[in-house]
């Protein structure tokens, strides 16, 4: 009956959290100051401008960085476990799979350079 313990803990956490929220709403200080609900950045007053345009190049650079960063993150665990694949007899299969992955990675890098995705001119 280990599942009953999980339900008990989940119910306890939910009830305790609801109790703390209720207690904070009853004992907390109520402030209805409109300044509290304004956004704050570096001590400067907020300037709302609707014509602010941010270049798409910033978003494109960020997305490309994230994509290539994630690909490198996928390579790290493979490098750590490659010896285990060799011992298990799956070294060639693992190497071919990573070669295909790196091939797609390099193709994407050359496509990015060829399409001039990172040029700011």
Distance CA 11, CA 118 (A): 52
The span from the CA of 120 to the CA of 9, in Å, is: 55
The angle formed by the CA atoms of residues 50, 54 and 55, to the nearest 5 degrees, is: 145
Q: List the chain domain ranges.
A: 2-114
The whole-model pTM stands at 0.49
Over the stretch 27-86, which tens digit does the pLDDT of each residue have? Answer: 988 878 877 777 766 666 666 666 667 777 888 888 888 888 888 898 899 899 999 999
Cβ pair 90, 27 in contact under 8 A: no
Distance CA 63, CA 22 (A): 42
pLDDT, tens digit, 9 for 90 and up, residues 25-40: 999 888 788 777 777 6
Q: Is 44 in a helix, a strand, or coil? A: strand
CATH topology of domain 2-114: Methane Monooxygenase Hydroxylase; Chain G, domain 1 (1.20.58)
């Amino acid at each position: 009956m280990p599942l009953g313990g999980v339900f008990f803990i989940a119910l306890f956490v939910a009830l305790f959290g609801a109790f703390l929220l209720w207690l904070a709403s009853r004992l907390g200080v109520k402030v209805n100051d409109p300044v509290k609900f304004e956004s704050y950045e570096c001590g400067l007053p907020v300037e709302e401008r609707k014509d602010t345009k941010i270049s798409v190049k910033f978003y494109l650079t960020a997305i490309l960085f994230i994509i290539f960063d994630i690909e490198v993150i996928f390579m790290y665990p493979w490098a750590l476990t490659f010896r285990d694949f060799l011992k298990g007899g799956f070294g060639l299969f693992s190497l071919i799979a990573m070669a295909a992955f790196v091939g797609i990675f390099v193709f994407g890098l050359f496509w990015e350079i060829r399409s001039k995705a990172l040029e700011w001119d």
